[in-house]
Each structure stands twice: as structure tokens, then as C-alpha cells.
Amino acid sequence: MKIISIVGARPNFMKVAPIHRAFLTSSVKIDSKIIHTGQHFDKKMSQVFFNDLQLPQPDYFLGIGQGSSTELTARIMLDLELIFKEEKPDLVVVVGDVTSTFASALVANRMGIKLAHVEAGLRSFDRDMPEEINRMLTDQISDFLFVTEDSGVRNLLNENIDSNKIHLVGNCMIDSLVHYNDYTHSTDALEQYQLEPQDYIIMTMHRPSNVDYEKGLTDILQIIESLGHFNKIIFPVHPRTEKKLIELNLLDDFKKQNIVLTEPLAYLEFIKLMRFSSCILTDSGGVQEESTYLGIPCVTYRKSTERPVTVELGTNVLIEDLDVLKTVTVVKEILNGNGKKGQIPALWDGNAAIRIRDILIQEMV
């Protein structure tokens, strides 16, 4: 069986790594290939993850690079059609919700190749998020829908997806966290950034709705300024956010705070810093899940989350509109030891990729 997995952007690498590993260790021979679209291409957002996750270099690198989402989609589709014609895979695996996910899914569908979507069914019910559209459209054309949490199964059934295609398997991003948590001793990130365990906050912000306009960035600045009185903050800055901070001349104001501003961190550094932090502030999708697994209180700046189990069962709290006062109240409680304790959701045990592999073998061989 030949399976091609697609990666494109940072949150894809840690999901495909365990899947590729599971394919390689299968008792049924699987020819597992990886295509990198190049949606994220700079070293800090791409190559470092291949190193940290021990992923082999991709079999194909499309080098799609920068452009509007429409341009990226069109270029990915044209290139992939040629590769799929040549390689004739039995199955294409796409993960998550980025532009590469839907573009690749559509090519597989048009060419009559079976398609698996890993992390299917997640819904924020906010159609202003490009990711929500990518998720919904990919799910509609997938043959295998691998789901991380109960809400995903319900959402797919509500969208009239055939229940035989839906498989609740757990979370491949957590597979990576479980696997690589043991490797983090190789990084000295705490010493490097002069951080004391449980005595700093880690922040990531990159959603267009928070960082693409001045008010969002000045609100983030105010949050940092208010919290800086209680705790040091480390903020690895996403390229999208950095570009806007420079454009709007705000970078110096950020640098004046009780803060360590860094480039995007490598995976092992980042998960180590999450593990030892007092609290996580984010608008990321995956970080909400990782903080729930690690039991670290997390504040997510969104009006809704496509990962509701992190709020219902985990350590996550949503705050809308980058509300400074609410943030200070919630974070003070966390620093006083009264943050959400949370539980780890069912099947988030490090074995999701193995389940995915076994289902594929059972249904395809």
C-alpha cells in the first residue's frame, strides 16, 4: 500500500511524524511518502521540526512559498496533480486545517484517490476563520475521518457524513507530545532564556483576528504590560505577528516590557517551556490541546474554540476581544494556585497514529 502524507505548515509536522512512524513499523508493508508543500518554508517554521521530530526529508518539496491563499491553493493543486499521476498512491493523508490541507484534499478527490483527514470534525462555528472553511470542505470529501474528541463525531454526524467513515482515534499532536516529552532534556531552553520553573508565562499569538490590526496588537501589549508586574513573559513571535509589529512600529514598545521576545522556537524547546510554565496565553489551535495534556492552565483569545474538550474537561479558558481586565483576573487566580486543574481527554494517550494505521490496514488491504 502506498500512502502519501502532506505537510505544509508548522502545526502539520508534529501530527504527521507519529503517523509516518506508525506506517514504517507496520506488519503490512506500507510505502510511506511525505510531500511538503512549502507553505511554511523558513528554517524556524519548518526545517527545525524535521530535525526535532526525526522526520526524514520530504520525498517532494513543492516550494510554494508566499502568496495569497488562492495563489497557494492553485500552485499546490497543479504540482500535486503531476506527482499523484506519477506516484499513483492508494491513499492521501491530510492533517489539520491549513491551506495545504484543503488544496491537497481536493486534488486527491478529483483524481479518485482515497483520502484520510486527520483531526476531522473540529468546528469553531466561526466561518470568518479560514481554517473553519478548510476543515468543513476537507471533511465533506474525505473517505476516512479521524477524530480527536467526541464533539468532532457529533459535528460530522450533524453534517450528514456517513458514520462508517468516522473514527474516534485520539490525537496525533498529543502522540508527539507524549513521545518527545522524554527528549526535552536535550534542550537548555530554561537556562538560555533565564527562566525559573513555574515562574514565567508563555505566550503565542498569530491568528489574523488578533494580530492583523493595530487595536489587536495594542491590546496584546496592554496584556503583557499588566501581567509583567506579576510574572516574566516569554513570547516566541510568529512571522505573521512580527511582520505586523514592524509594519505598525510597535516592536520597540513590546521590547520595553518584562518580556523575552524570541523567534519561533523549535519543537523540543517549546514543549519544554510549556511544561515548566505557570500559565499559557495563546490563540493557537494545537497549544490549547497540549496545555490540557500537560495540565498547565491556558487562556485562549478566541470567541469560540473548535476544541471544546479543552474547556469542558481540560485547563483551557476562553477570553474574547483580548480583554485586559479579564485576563488579569484569570491569570492572578492561576498564579495563586487556583487555575483549572483539568483532565486528559479519552484516547489522548500517545497511540492515535497506531489506531489510524490499524483502521487503514483493516479497511484497505
Tally the residues of the chain.
365
Contact between 209 and 128 under an 8 Å Cβ cutoff? The reply is: yes
**Dist. CA 135–CA 349, nearest whole Å:** 24
Q: Is 345 in the site for ligand UDP (CB under 6 A)?
A: no
Q: Is 14 in the site for ligand UDP (CB under 6 A)?
A: yes
Sign (positive/negative) of CA torsion 292, 20, 115, 361?
A: negative
**Dist. CA 173–CA 286, nearest whole Å:** 7
Q: Is 290 in the site for ligand UDP (CB under 6 A)?
A: yes
Q: Is 11 in the site for ligand UDP (CB under 6 A)?
A: yes
* Shortest Å, Cβ 132 to ligand UDP: 12
**Dist. CA 82–CA 121, nearest whole Å:** 29
- Compute the 3-state secondary structure of the chain and give helix, strand, coil in percent, each to the nearest 5: 50, 15, 35
Contact between 52 and 23 under an 8 Å Cβ cutoff? The reply is: no
Residue, CB closest to ligand UDP:
284
| Interface with ligand UDP (CB under 6 A), residue from 102, 144, 270, 276 | 270
- Spot the catalytic one: 40, 206, 229, 238: 206
**Dist. CA 114–CA 132, nearest whole Å:** 22
Site stretch for ligand UDP (CB under 6 A), options 102-110, 183-191, 221-229, 279-287: 279-287
User: Which residue do the cell numbers 460530522 mark?
Assistant: 156
Q: Is 285 in the site for ligand UDP (CB under 6 A)?
A: yes
* Shortest Å, Cβ 45 to ligand UDP: 8
Nearer to ligand UDP, 16 or 106 (CB): 16
Site stretch for ligand UDP (CB under 6 A), options 7-15, 61-69, 101-109, 329-337: 7-15
Q: Is 271 in the site for ligand UDP (CB under 6 A)?
A: yes
36 included as an active-site residue = no
**Dist. CA 365–CA 357, nearest whole Å:** 11
What are the C-alpha distances in Å from 338 to residues 188, 277, 330?
Answer: 29, 15, 9
- How many Cβ atoms are within 10 Å of 327's Cβ, its own excluded? 21
* Shortest Å, Cβ 357 to ligand UDP: 21
Q: Which of residues 225-244 bind ligand UDP (CB under 6 A)?
A: 236
Using CB under 6 A as the binding criterion, the count of chain residues that bind ligand UDP stands at 16
Site stretch for ligand UDP (CB under 6 A), options 10-18, 215-223, 295-303, 349-357: 10-18
Site stretch for ligand UDP (CB under 6 A), options 6-14, 63-71, 135-143, 297-305: 6-14
| All cell numbers assigned to 42 | 523558513
| All cell numbers assigned to 114 | 482515497
Q: Is 284 in the site for ligand UDP (CB under 6 A)?
A: yes
Q: Strand order of the sheet with strand 316-318?
A: 259-262, 232-236, 200-204, 279-282, 298-300, 316-318
| Interface with ligand UDP (CB under 6 A), residue from 10, 20, 167, 232 | 10
Binding site for ligand UDP (CB under 6 A): 10-11, 14, 173, 204, 236, 264-265, 267, 270-271, 284-287, 290
Annotated catalytic sites, by residue? Answer: 206
